[in-house]
Homo-oligomer: A and B are copies of this chain.
């Protein structure tokens, strides 16, 4: 098994997202970090890249340097991960796709709908993989839920309820802390705060599990701390193409909630729920029957869930292995296999369209608006 060559942009020393990608790419021995531009400070980035095993000539000072260096090589990296600040995702992803690289982009893929549409076009034209890191979708039991819907085990889906709410930005005394503040400042975060940060994970999950897309939505935004411009709490009601009713709550001021991402899916013949803090179980209830606790690794699960589980039942697998599953699927896709479940540029675009729709709706008293990107209408 020859390891794939992996390049990383952003995610430098001390970042939160960097370790998750490195664990994810390396855990299964599928990727070897080969080229990197890790830090906004070129020297620190070069030094850290070499410490992580990159050769000196592939430890780059910034992404433009890396693009220039890699595009000319015969042994260029097989995949580039973009984990830079949000506002730079668009131009980096676009440039690497155009140069013929496969890309895994952190969410949000872009800051505007127009940029998102551009990425979708560029990705199509390039024939390269452009994936977006909606990694929660790669938990085995989330894949199982998607399989259960697709195979009709809960009937037509009537209702999706999802929450992604935490309380880590709930301390007003801490609101001016730069690590918190930028998220609620339009100059840095764009048009949306909490919904663009966490809400889109939940919205993607609703589509991912149901196999359906959001058509329209109505939003209610709130900024509960005076100094904030953007929302730190949002409720979004939505309708999917197939008629499913959706409800999504996201908050960063829900003090006492840690990382409370959960989803409930209710169909004609059953319901199920999953929570990211206990990701190895699904609670499934057939209509008229008892709730059953499904376990990652139990016999009889779908091939997809079984394939992405690594250790025996009831040995918990956590967030870094969900990210690893994204890389497992990327390795297969790079090898030419079909991996339809990989979150794509189209998913990234849909998220951005939903963000814009939600901001629009919330600003106009919750009117229902079309949530689809123009190019998908």
**Chain A residues in the interface with B (C-beta under 8 A):** 1-3, 16, 19-20, 22-23, 26-29, 33, 51-53, 154, 158-159, 161, 165-168, 170-172, 218, 220, 222, 224, 233, 235, 237, 245, 247, 249, 251, 253-260, 264, 266-268, 270-273, 276-280, 283-288, 290-295, 298, 310-321, 365-368
A16 to chain B, nearest CB (A): 5
Q: Cβ of B317 and Cβ of A159 under 8 Å apart?
A: no
Q: Select which of B161, B218, B251, B310 is within 8 A of A249 by beta carbon.
A: B161
A348 to chain B, nearest CB (A): 21
Q: Cβ of A311 and Cβ of B258 under 8 Å apart?
A: no
Assuming the A-B contacts A277-B314, A321-B318, are A295 and B258 also in contact, with contact meaning beta carbons closer than 8 angstroms in the complex? yes
Q: Cβ of B313 and Cβ of A319 under 8 Å apart?
A: no
Q: Cβ of B287 and Cβ of A237 under 8 Å apart?
A: no
Assuming the A-B contacts A161-B249, A266-B254, A266-B255, are A22 and B26 also in contact, with contact meaning beta carbons closer than 8 angstroms in the complex? no
Assuming the A-B contacts A245-B222, A291-B293, are A33 and B29 also in contact, with contact meaning beta carbons closer than 8 angstroms in the complex? yes
Q: Cβ of A253 and Cβ of B51 under 8 Å apart?
A: no
Contacts of A253 in B (CB 8 A): 158-159, 266
Q: List 13 A-B contacts (CB under 8 A).
A: A26-B27, A29-B52, A158-B233, A167-B287, A170-B266, A218-B366, A247-B249, A255-B267, A256-B285, A257-B264, A260-B314, A290-B292, A290-B293
Q: Select which of B22, B158, B290 is within 8 A of A294 by beta carbon.
A: B290
Bound Cα distance A277, B254 (Å): 21
Contacts of A273 in B (CB 8 A): 256
Q: Select which of B28, B318, B366 is within 8 A of A237 by beta carbon.
A: B366
Closest to A48 in B: B1
Q: Cβ of B26 and Cβ of A28 under 8 Å apart?
A: yes
Contacts of A166 in B (CB 8 A): 314
Closest to A172 in B: B268
A282 to chain B, nearest CB (A): 10
Q: Cβ of B266 and Cβ of A1 under 8 Å apart?
A: no
A296 to chain B, nearest CB (A): 10
Q: Cβ of A258 and Cβ of B313 under 8 Å apart?
A: yes
Contacts of A311 in B (CB 8 A): 16, 19-20, 23, 318-320
A371 to chain B, nearest CB (A): 14
Q: Select which of B52, B267, B285 is within 8 A of A1 by beta carbon.
A: B52
Contacts of A27 in B (CB 8 A): 23, 26-27, 320
Indicate the member of A154, A283, A320 with the most B CB atoms within 10 Å.
Answer: A320
A58 to chain B, nearest CB (A): 15
Q: Cβ of B314 and Cβ of A258 under 8 Å apart?
A: yes
Contacts of A270 in B (CB 8 A): 255-256
Bound Cα distance A233, B16 (Å): 39
